Amino acid sequence: MTDALIATLAAARKAQQMTQAELAERAGLSRMAVQRTETGDVDPRYSTLAEMSRVLGMRMIAVPADLVPALHAFVQSGGKFLGQPAGADAPPSIVDDLAGNTAR
């Protein structure tokens, strides 16, 4: 579980074109702490992961284990309703309204 979280944080850092040193500075950590966390050389503290997440614009949440598959499917679907048939689009939302993507 921690390996997947760390891989997600490293991928987010890279996607934002942020160096380990930049992440470390913004999170109040040493560059070595970020590097050792990403390489799996240490078992990081929750506070370290939480600060890295915060800087990357992410939040860590606790999810009941039996809901993880459904949550993963929901996220992978782009946020469509759980149990919605494949290929069905989500209804228009306030986000669509703000982006000017709907005609009501």
Span 54-78, pLDDT tens digits: 999 999 988 899 988 888 888 787 7
Q: Is the pLDDT of residue 104 over 50?
A: no
Q: Is the pLDDT of residue 2 over 70?
A: yes
Helix ranges (DSSP H) in the chain: 2-15, 20-27, 31-39, 46-55, 68-76, 94-99
pTM: 0.69
Cβ-contact 53, 60 below 8 angstroms: yes
Q: Is the pLDDT of residue 79 over 90?
A: no
